[in-house]
Amino acid sequence: MRARSGKTVLRKRKRLRKLAKGYRAGRRTLYRQSVVTQMRGGVFAYRHRRQKKRLYRRLWITRITAACRMRGVRYSQFIAGLQRAGVEVDRKMLSELAIHDPKAFDELVSLSKPFFPEVTAKAS
């Protein structure tokens, strides 16, 4: 007698159907299409979890840059000055300070000013 793996296969397909619930047309109803769609969805999810971190860092840097420009300082000078001053505040917190607590951000700018890197004149 031939052994069939009926229960296992049906369980696997049922699990996949549950995952494919929000899809349209054959992507939801047809097994092969839903397998491919699930795989692609997983790839996108994996990729975008990493991309999200990059996008947030870009947002924080943009916010800090805007706050620095309002105070007549360049972003790169500000960050270099903070590092040399030994201030360990990450960009997320700096952007939050720039938005919600401008006085504290002013203090950080004034703290980093003595440590700004010297601008070397270009030889002409």
**What CATH number does residue 39 fall under?**
1.10.1900.20
Q: Whole domain around residue 26: which residue ranges?
A: 11-115
- Residue 65: the pLDDT is 96
Rounded CA-CA distance 55/89 in Å is 19
Domain membership flag for residue 4 = no
Domain membership flag for residue 64 = yes
- Residue 95: the pLDDT is 96
Domain membership flag for residue 105 = yes
The reported pTM is 0.76
Domain membership flag for residue 19 = yes
Rounded CA-CA distance 124/117 in Å is 21
What total of structural domains would you count in the chain? 1
Domain membership flag for residue 90 = yes
pLDDT under 50: residue ranges of the chain? none
- Residue 35: the pLDDT is 93
Domain membership flag for residue 88 = yes
Tens digit of pLDDT for each residue in 95-116? 999 999 999 999 999 999 888 8
Domain membership flag for residue 5 = no
